[in-house]
Amino acid sequence: ANWERAVREATERFSDIRHELLSALHSENPEHRSAAVATLTEAKDIESRELVRKLVDDPDAYVREEALEYLADYAVLDDVPLLFRALVEGPHFFLASCALQRLCADDGDIIQDDDTPVVREEAIARWREKLIGMKLLPLSERRL
Protein backbone atom coordinates (compact mmCIF):
# COMPACT_ATOMS: atom_id res chain seq x y z
CA ALA A 1 0.00 0.00 0.00
CA ASN A 2 2.81 2.45 0.87
CA TRP A 3 4.69 1.54 -2.31
CA GLU A 4 1.59 2.08 -4.47
CA ARG A 5 0.80 5.39 -2.77
CA ALA A 6 4.39 6.58 -3.22
CA VAL A 7 4.29 5.71 -6.94
CA ARG A 8 0.93 7.44 -7.41
CA GLU A 9 2.03 10.60 -5.58
CA ALA A 10 5.35 10.71 -7.39
CA THR A 11 3.63 10.36 -10.76
CA GLU A 12 1.38 13.31 -9.95
CA ARG A 13 4.42 15.47 -9.06
CA PHE A 14 6.68 13.97 -11.71
CA SER A 15 8.21 17.09 -13.24
CA ASP A 16 9.16 18.40 -9.80
CA ILE A 17 10.83 15.17 -8.68
CA ARG A 18 12.30 13.66 -11.84
CA HIS A 19 15.86 14.37 -10.68
CA GLU A 20 15.16 12.58 -7.37
CA LEU A 21 13.71 9.61 -9.24
CA LEU A 22 16.78 9.30 -11.42
CA SER A 23 18.93 9.37 -8.28
CA ALA A 24 16.70 6.71 -6.69
CA LEU A 25 17.56 4.35 -9.55
CA HIS A 26 20.99 4.07 -7.90
CA SER A 27 19.72 3.72 -4.32
CA GLU A 28 21.01 0.88 -2.15
CA ASN A 29 17.38 0.20 -1.20
CA PRO A 30 15.69 -2.04 -3.80
CA GLU A 31 12.24 -0.66 -2.88
CA HIS A 32 13.44 2.82 -3.85
CA ARG A 33 14.85 1.54 -7.16
CA SER A 34 11.68 -0.41 -7.90
CA ALA A 35 9.36 2.50 -7.04
CA ALA A 36 11.47 4.87 -9.14
CA VAL A 37 11.20 2.61 -12.19
CA ALA A 38 7.45 2.15 -11.66
CA THR A 39 7.01 5.91 -11.44
CA LEU A 40 9.02 6.47 -14.62
CA THR A 41 6.82 3.88 -16.35
CA GLU A 42 3.58 5.45 -15.14
CA ALA A 43 4.81 8.93 -16.08
CA LYS A 44 5.69 7.63 -19.57
CA ASP A 45 9.25 8.93 -19.24
CA ILE A 46 10.91 7.49 -22.34
CA GLU A 47 14.02 9.61 -21.83
CA SER A 48 15.14 7.40 -18.94
CA ARG A 49 15.34 4.22 -21.03
CA GLU A 50 19.15 3.93 -20.93
CA LEU A 51 19.19 4.14 -17.13
CA VAL A 52 16.23 1.80 -16.65
CA ARG A 53 17.50 -0.86 -19.07
CA LYS A 54 20.58 -1.34 -16.84
CA LEU A 55 18.24 -2.46 -14.05
CA VAL A 56 17.23 -5.57 -16.01
CA ASP A 57 20.39 -7.00 -14.39
CA ASP A 58 19.59 -5.68 -10.89
CA PRO A 59 20.17 -8.17 -8.04
CA ASP A 60 16.60 -7.62 -6.79
CA ALA A 61 13.83 -9.54 -8.60
CA TYR A 62 11.24 -6.78 -8.09
CA VAL A 63 13.55 -4.17 -9.61
CA ARG A 64 14.21 -6.47 -12.60
CA GLU A 65 10.47 -6.98 -13.00
CA GLU A 66 9.77 -3.23 -12.98
CA ALA A 67 12.59 -2.64 -15.49
CA LEU A 68 11.12 -5.26 -17.83
CA GLU A 69 7.67 -3.75 -17.41
CA TYR A 70 9.12 -0.39 -18.44
CA LEU A 71 10.85 -1.95 -21.45
CA ALA A 72 7.64 -3.72 -22.45
CA ASP A 73 6.42 -0.21 -23.27
CA TYR A 74 9.60 1.64 -24.26
CA ALA A 75 12.16 -0.84 -25.61
CA VAL A 76 13.90 -0.14 -28.91
CA LEU A 77 15.51 -2.60 -31.31
CA ASP A 78 18.90 -2.17 -29.62
CA ASP A 79 17.34 -3.73 -26.51
CA VAL A 80 16.58 -7.06 -28.24
CA PRO A 81 19.73 -8.91 -27.02
CA LEU A 82 19.08 -7.75 -23.44
CA LEU A 83 15.40 -8.75 -23.63
CA PHE A 84 16.22 -12.10 -25.19
CA ARG A 85 18.73 -12.82 -22.42
CA ALA A 86 16.05 -11.91 -19.84
CA LEU A 87 13.69 -14.27 -21.65
CA VAL A 88 16.20 -17.13 -21.54
CA GLU A 89 17.18 -16.55 -17.90
CA GLY A 90 13.67 -15.87 -16.54
CA PRO A 91 11.76 -15.68 -14.28
CA HIS A 92 9.86 -12.80 -15.92
CA PHE A 93 9.09 -14.62 -19.17
CA PHE A 94 5.80 -12.83 -19.77
CA LEU A 95 7.22 -9.29 -19.59
CA ALA A 96 10.30 -10.14 -21.67
CA SER A 97 8.20 -11.82 -24.36
CA CYS A 98 5.72 -8.90 -24.39
CA ALA A 99 8.57 -6.44 -24.96
CA LEU A 100 9.99 -8.59 -27.77
CA GLN A 101 6.57 -9.00 -29.35
CA ARG A 102 5.98 -5.25 -29.39
CA LEU A 103 9.32 -4.77 -31.15
CA CYS A 104 8.40 -7.45 -33.70
CA ALA A 105 5.12 -5.85 -34.83
CA ASP A 106 3.06 -7.96 -32.42
CA ASP A 107 4.39 -11.17 -33.92
CA GLY A 108 5.85 -13.86 -31.69
CA ASP A 109 4.98 -16.08 -28.75
CA ILE A 110 3.87 -14.63 -25.45
CA ILE A 111 5.30 -16.84 -22.74
CA GLN A 112 3.41 -17.06 -19.48
CA ASP A 113 5.47 -17.14 -16.29
CA ASP A 114 3.74 -20.37 -15.28
CA ASP A 115 4.17 -22.20 -18.61
CA THR A 116 5.83 -25.58 -18.29
CA PRO A 117 9.57 -25.71 -18.94
CA VAL A 118 8.96 -27.63 -22.18
CA VAL A 119 6.48 -25.04 -23.49
CA ARG A 120 8.87 -22.26 -22.48
CA GLU A 121 11.89 -23.87 -24.15
CA GLU A 122 9.97 -24.41 -27.39
CA ALA A 123 8.76 -20.80 -27.43
CA ILE A 124 12.25 -19.49 -26.63
CA ALA A 125 13.65 -21.57 -29.50
CA ARG A 126 11.09 -19.98 -31.86
CA TRP A 127 12.03 -16.52 -30.56
CA ARG A 128 15.72 -17.29 -31.08
CA GLU A 129 15.20 -18.32 -34.71
CA LYS A 130 12.87 -15.40 -35.40
CA LEU A 131 15.27 -12.81 -33.96
CA ILE A 132 18.29 -14.31 -35.73
CA GLY A 133 16.27 -14.34 -38.97
CA MET A 134 15.41 -10.67 -38.46
CA LYS A 135 19.13 -9.99 -37.82
CA LEU A 136 18.32 -8.68 -34.34
CA LEU A 137 20.44 -11.36 -32.65
CA PRO A 138 23.85 -12.60 -33.79
CA LEU A 139 24.18 -16.14 -35.16
CA SER A 140 26.22 -17.00 -32.06
CA GLU A 141 22.94 -16.96 -30.10
CA ARG A 142 22.05 -20.30 -31.70
CA ARG A 143 24.17 -21.96 -29.02
CA LEU A 144 22.29 -20.56 -26.01
Domain of residue 83: give its range. 76-144
Same-domain status, 80 and 68 = no
Same-domain status, 95 and 31 = no
Domain boundary among 59, 74, 89: 74
Record the pTM: 0.83
Same-domain status, 109 and 141 = yes
Q: φ, ψ for residue 42 (rounded to 5)?
A: -65, -35
Report d(CA 2, CA 96) in Å as an integer.
27
Could you write out the DSSP letters of every residue in 17-71? HHHHHHHHTT-SSHHHHHHHHHHHHHTT-GGGHHHHHGGGG-SSHHHHHHHHHHH
Which residues 6+ apart lie within 8 Å of 85 measured at CB? Answer: none
Q: What is the pLDDT of residues 49-62, one digit of tens each?
A: 999 999 999 999 99
Q: What is the pLDDT of residues 74-102, one digit of tens each?
A: 999 999 999 999 999 999 999 999 999 99
Same-domain status, 125 and 89 = yes
